[in-house]
Structure 1
Amino acid sequence: MEPVLFYGVPQGCSFGSIVALEWLGRPYRLCRINMPDDMQDDLYARFNPVRETPVLLLENGASLCESAAILQNLAARAPERIGYPAGSLELERLNQMLAFLNTTFFAAFSPLWTAYEMESDPPVQAVLRDLGRRQVAKAHAQLETLLGGRDWLVGPRRSIADAYLTGIARWAEYHKATEQSAYPSLHRLLQRLNNDPAVTFARAIEAGEEPRGSGAFLGHVRLADLAPRLAA
């Protein structure tokens, strides 16, 4: 039984897990979750009690939540392709980069997402947007320093860290938070990723299309049809 990724639309950070699955190239299915409505379903809470995306339904019926955990699970399936071997210095650096992306870089956008939901209170919305833009600019500058002119976030090839970045960095344009061209190394990396076939595939998936991709994608499955697969 192939794994199933529950991905959120619109603009879910689960985008990066779709990219990683395409890079992995092993059979998988997707379950589309319209945020926030579908996450309020009691059945969804059985897969993830905190009602967030993404979720990876594993082959044994267990649910794995949180992007960092899901990406590490995928990398462990083929470390030579999207991760690094256990015990290696490269893996330690990958874990460090994932931690930065999952905390500092991700969290920088939090005020902007909160402002997005506060149309009824323009003054507070304006304060949150100003705070968010300053935080996003700082996080971009920090990532530019960490990248250090390399082609990829960790080591000489792409990894799950680069996949995760694709799902978060696009929020800067969505919120008009910062000009990514001001960060040359990061900008080059994002341009390279934006032209990657797996990223093109993930964009098409979010748009509601059924692209071919690498051939590993076996189609969508409905939430209601996945209940029998849940582990006891």
Structure 2
Amino acid sequence: MYKLYTRANSGGFVVEAALALAGVSFDQIDVPKGRLDQAFLDISPLNQVPVLILPDGRSMTESAAICILLAERHPEARLAPAASSPDRADFLRWMFFMSSVTYSADLRFFYAHRYTTDPRGVDAVKQAAVSEMDRSFAILDAALEGRDWLAGDRLSLADIYLVMLVAWHPEVAKVPTAWPNIERLWANLREHRVMKRLNASHDMWPA
């Protein structure tokens, strides 16, 4: 059985979605924010969630990587385009793009103090982070032009990953006008049964 270390309104949202969509059982352990625990540091050296403990006891961090692994281990759930599908390239491209660009910008905004040694530089770090978020969402919005999903003709974890990230935007009210294609995808997912259930515990967007 899987074991997931997570907390509300964190990157664990997309991993919980993956496990739910795959229909697999898992134990969930909530990790209080800011708490330093050596046992947790042993499996997450950066003291970050999510961490997925695999059935063989090994631990895995990085939400995008966890999602890709779960999609591979549970192909019947169709969490991602198959490895042999032409759409697999888009899935991998956007998962890594969002992980390295958008998620990174979110971290710089919410934890700006970690990214400067000058306390007076915190606001500048935040401003640059928002600009990077906006730039990445513009790219993703363009990729959704004329299509319903980021990779292929059906929902994948890339779409859920995107919705999670856009929900964290500090100026989320501008999403419908700034990125209408992302808003269209997000509106569809807000009605998805699994997304509704998870949002009830994560409070990612207004119900």
TM class by smaller structure: 0.7 to 0.9
Correspondence list, 1:31-42, <5 A:
31-37=29-35, 40-42=36-38
2:200 aligned residue: 204
The answer to whether the Cα contact below 8 Å between 1:109 and 1:136 also exists between their aligned partners in 2 is yes
The answer to whether the Cα contact below 8 Å between 1:17 and 1:164 also exists between their aligned partners in 2 is no
Sequence identity percentage: 27
Larger deviation, residues 130-139 vs 182-191? 130-139
Could you tell me how far 1:35 is from its partner in structure 2? Answer: 1.5
The answer to whether the Cα contact below 8 Å between 2:6 and 2:30 also exists between their aligned partners in 1 is yes
Correspondence list, 1:36-75, <5 A:
36-37=34-35, 40-75=36-71
1:29 aligned residue: 27
The answer to whether the Cα contact below 8 Å between 2:4 and 2:29 also exists between their aligned partners in 1 is yes
- After superposition, give the CA deviation of every residue in 1:26-81 in whole Å (9 maximum; x if it has no partner): 222211112221xx101112222232111111111111111122101211133342
Could you tell me how far 1:117 is from its partner in structure 2? Answer: 8.3
**Which of 9, 15, 18 in structure 2 is aligned with 1:17?**
15
Q: Secondary structure at the match of 2:182?
A: helix
Larger deviation, residues 41-50 vs 62-71? 41-50
Gaps of 5+ in 2: none
Gaps of 5+ in 1: 208-232
Distance 1:190 1:116, change over 3 A: farther
State whether structure 2 residue 9 is matched by structure 1 residue 3.
Answer: no
The answer to whether the Cα contact below 8 Å between 1:15 and 1:166 also exists between their aligned partners in 2 is no
Q: Secondary structure at the match of 2:111?
A: helix
Could you tell me how far 1:113 is from its partner in structure 2? Answer: 1.1
Larger radius of gyration: 1
2:157 aligned residue: 160
1: CA distance, partners of 2:40 / 2:112? 26
Q: Secondary structure at the match of 2:87?
A: helix
- Counting matched residue pairs gives 199
RMSD: 2.3
Q: Which amino acid aligns with 1:29?
A: D
Q: What is the TM-score normalised by the length of structure 1?
A: 0.77
1:191 aligned residue: 187
Q: Which amino acid aligns with 1:157?
A: R
1:226 aligned residue: none
